[in-house]
Amino acid sequence: MRGKGGKDMKASKVKIIGKKKIKDLLREASQEWNVYVPQKWSDGDVWMDQLPKDKQMLDEALEDVVLEDVDTVISPKDIFFPQLESIFKFKDDKIWETPEFSPKLIFGVQPCDLKGILFSDDFYRRNFEDRYYVSRIQNRLIVARGCLRPPRPTCFCSSAKTGPFAEDGFDLQLVDFGDSYFVEVGTREGEEFITMHKKFFSEPDGNYDMTIKEIKTKACDSLELKVDFQNALSLMAQDSFIPEENYRRIGERCIYCGGCLYVCPTCTCFNVFDNVKDKEGERVRNWDACVFEGYTRETSGHNPRKDKWLRTARRYEHKLKFDYKVTGLSGCIACGRCLSSCPVGIGISKFIQEITEKRKIM
Amino acid sequence: MENNIYIPDLARITRIETVTPLEKIFDISFIEKEAQKKFNFLPGQFVELTVFGVGEAPFSITSNPNNKDKFQLCIRAVGSVSKAIHALKEGARVGIRGPFGKGTFPYKEAKGHNVLAIAGGLGLAPLMSFLTYVMDFRDQYKNLMIIYGAVNPTNILYKNEIAYWNSRDDVSVCVTVDNPDDKWTGEIGVCTKLIPRVDFKPDDTYTIVCGPPVMYKYVVVELEKKNFKEDKIFLSLERRMECGVGKCNHCHIGDKLACVDGPVFRLWDVRNLKEAI
């Protein structure tokens, strides 16, 4: 009840925080949460990394926090779906499961990556709840950070409507406004977080709604790469439209390194294997990639996807056709990482341009 | 550890039968009575078998679903897990998850109709869950014909069952081998050669097929020459699997998953999918 005279009785769903206060907020929040935030490493790469708990190390890490024009090398998916993860351990006739439950504050998530997280959430809850994924997300707060400018030249979120600002799915969203951020509140949990740390936040003045709208429109206009995303989904949905020749041509150039799949926010394939050390065993799962020849190779040696072009087709069809058919959502969230990470210049945005503009690009 | 689909239940190998130079049949029972009680499978389903420390692999259940105190797997020693289980002795402990797979053989739908079973090599093993079920309720089905092709006479699986089927006048069995030995007096050649001889009415016949991947497209061609209907032909499409529950994604066939939507598919549902057959 902050409003005066009954005109604005409800607290607004938008707060404001000075940029200078962010470090102190993160320092305070890290007492309760495992805080993940983009940090610039000495080599210049930015990773969505966990802040250390040790006081001195935390202070040092906070100096490396970056929130603007951030191109995190990989998506934050590894917070919930680690590259290598223990499923259970076993010794003699005992088996014990090893899920992870820590409270996680993910701070500064790009809107496209947020879509990726929500996509994976849905995938790992579909049909049954994946114990490991669901335990990792059960106590989680997401602070999204809209992009004023595309962090990668390959970004095409405005075409897929997955950015540059999120419309929903966040607990809080930062809107860059000079030396402060507007903080949009998306959920009750987000509101509680602000209440817990209220000394860092204040009420915005004036016609802030209009200001936020202008910021978002300008951000949207800043994306130069535009593709006909919806048309691509429609074309992919028509079973036999994409000529095999397209896949064969791309497949000839692909070096099948799997890089695009590791950086992809929605790639969730994994392998399962056992490790044994000193009579104690552990079953683990680790990331796999459908472009690898061994991915579908059977014990007999038979491989239904031995041909390169079939693996190329699989990749595009999974993202743009089958995911869409099963969930109504595209499996590509238009972050552009596949193209920015590809050594030979192959990416989903280019594939979309090829099929919608009917010309060879790759 | 309730509700965690990734954790195997402990089970014991109660009997091992060496059936060919390559294959053994394993009888398996759960150690916990509760686990045994809730393990009810349908013909065509599979389990994920763990040899602790080696890993996990999917195997079709080969025994009669009506047998509730144990189940059987027929395993060829080719991969790390299958070789490891071949090295185990009776009484050894393994882990079992499952049964998995929604796509089963049409044991209900085929009632009141002819059944044609076509198996190639180790493909006979998954069909056994269905065929033993049909034999239990033999009067509920019309004609039953089993076509089985093996590489050579020593590789023939389930010799006792084949002899039993041969002894009955309500089952017709044709076994053919690619490489006969001196004693072989039966059919020679691949099993597709026998399909033209089938005299069942196409509209009234359910066909189930399981064999090596290369076999399917030739079998389907022969069946369709005789006007067998694609909505009454069922194929067991096995793929590399890791999790068995639709998360690791290795067994994708188009938008379907062999582990969840299969492993048995109606030809109608998969024939236009890349890589299916």
Which pLDDT score is estimated for A279? 87
Compare all CA atoms of chain A with the CA of B213 and give the residue at the minimum distance. A302
Cβ atoms A18, A89 nearer than 8 A: no
CB-CB under 8 Å, B254 with A272? no
- B19 forms beta bridges with none
What is the CA A262 to chain-centroid distance, rounded? 12
CATH of domain B9-100: 2.40.30.10
CB-CB under 8 Å, B242 with A296? no
CB-CB under 8 Å, B6 with A132? yes
Helix or strand (DSSP H, E) at A277: strand A270-277
Which pLDDT score is estimated for A93? 85
User: pLDDT per residue over B186-223, tens digit each?
Assistant: 999 999 999 999 999 999 999 999 999 999 999 999 99
**Count of CB atoms situated within 10 Å of the CB of A267:** 26
Domain residue spans of chain B: 9-100, 114-271
User: pLDDT per residue over B152-198, tens digit each?
Assistant: 999 999 999 999 999 999 999 999 999 999 999 999 999 999 999 99
User: pLDDT per residue over B33-78, tens digit each?
Assistant: 999 999 999 999 999 999 999 999 999 999 999 999 999 999 999 9
- Residues of chain B with Cβ-Cβ distance to A269 below 8 Å are 248-250
CB-CB under 8 Å, A97 with B10? no
Angle at alpha carbon of residue B58, lines to B57 and B59, rounded to 5°: 120
- Residues of chain A with Cβ-Cβ distance to B10 below 8 Å are 93, 95
CB-CB under 8 Å, A269 with B248? yes
- B25 forms beta bridges with B17, B74
B114-271 CATH fold: Rossmann fold (3.40.50)
Torsion B208-B212-B214-B215 (CA) sign:
negative
- Collapsing DSSP states into helix, strand and coil, what is residue A217? helix
- Residues of chain A with Cβ-Cβ distance to B252 below 8 Å are 290, 314, 318, 322
User: pLDDT per residue over B230-240, tens digit each?
Assistant: 999 999 999 99
Cβ atoms A172, A194 nearer than 8 A: yes
CB-CB under 8 Å, B240 with A297? yes
Q: What is the rounded distance in angstroms from the CA atom of residue B238 to the CA atom of residue B209?
A: 12
Q: What is the rounded distance in angstroms from the CA atom of residue A143 to the CA atom of residue B191?
A: 62
Cβ atoms B96, B49 nearer than 8 A: yes
CB-CB under 8 Å, A239 with B248? no
Q: What share of chain A is helix, strand, coil (3-state, %, to 5)?
A: 40, 20, 40
Nearest to A130 among B8, B247, B255 (CB): B247
Ranges assigned E (strand) in A11-103:
14-18, 34-40, 46-50, 84-91, 94-97
Compare all CA atoms of chain A with the CA of B92 and give the residue at the minimum distance. A93
A84 exposure class (CB count in 10 Å sphere: 0-12, 13-18, 19+)? exposed
Task: Note down pLDDT in tens along chain A; length 362 residues.
Answer: 333 333 444 445 999 999 999 999 999 999 999 999 999 998 989 999 999 999 999 999 999 999 998 899 889 999 999 999 999 999 988 999 988 999 999 999 999 999 999 999 999 999 999 999 999 999 999 999 999 999 999 999 999 999 999 999 999 999 999 999 999 999 999 999 999 999 999 999 889 999 999 999 999 999 999 999 999 999 999 877 788 999 999 999 999 999 999 999 999 999 999 999 988 999 999 999 999 999 999 999 999 999 999 999 999 999 999 999 999 999 999 999 999 999 999 999 999 999 999 888 88
Average pLDDT over residues B15-20: 96
- Tell me the two tokens of residue A357: 């503009």
Which pLDDT score is estimated for A8? 41
Which pLDDT score is estimated for A2? 36
Q: What is the rounded distance in angstroms from the CA atom of residue A37 to the CA atom of residue A190?
A: 17
Domain residue spans of chain A: 2-221, 229-357
- Residues of chain B with Cβ-Cβ distance to A132 below 8 Å are 6
Higher-pLDDT residue of B3 and A158 is A158
Q: What share of chain B is helix, strand, coil (3-state, %, to 5)?
A: 25, 30, 45
Compare all CA atoms of chain A with the CA of B249 and give the residue at the minimum distance. A269
Nearest to B78 among A274, A285, A300 (CB): A300
> How far A145 CA lies from chain B's nearest CA (Å)?
30
- Chains A and B form CB pairs within 8 A to the count of 106
**Count of CB atoms situated within 10 Å of the CB of B57:** 24
Please provide residue A359's backbone torsions phi and psi, each rounded to the nearest 5 degrees: -145, 160
The residue with tokens 């089905």 is B141
Which pLDDT score is estimated for A9? 40
Q: Write out the residues of chain B at the interface with chain A, using a CB-CB cutoff of 8 A.
A: 1, 3-8, 10, 52-57, 78-79, 82, 93, 95, 212-214, 238-240, 242-243, 245-250, 252-255, 260, 272, 274-275
CB-CB under 8 Å, B275 with A274? no
Nearest to B82 among A127, A299, A318 (CB): A299
- Residues of chain A with Cβ-Cβ distance to B240 below 8 Å are 295-299
Torsion B54-B59-B64-B67 (CA) sign:
positive
Q: Which residue of B1, B22, B249 to mutate against A (max A Cβ within 10 Å)? A: B249
Q: What is the rounded distance in angstroms from the CA atom of residue A351 to the CA atom of residue A306?
A: 22
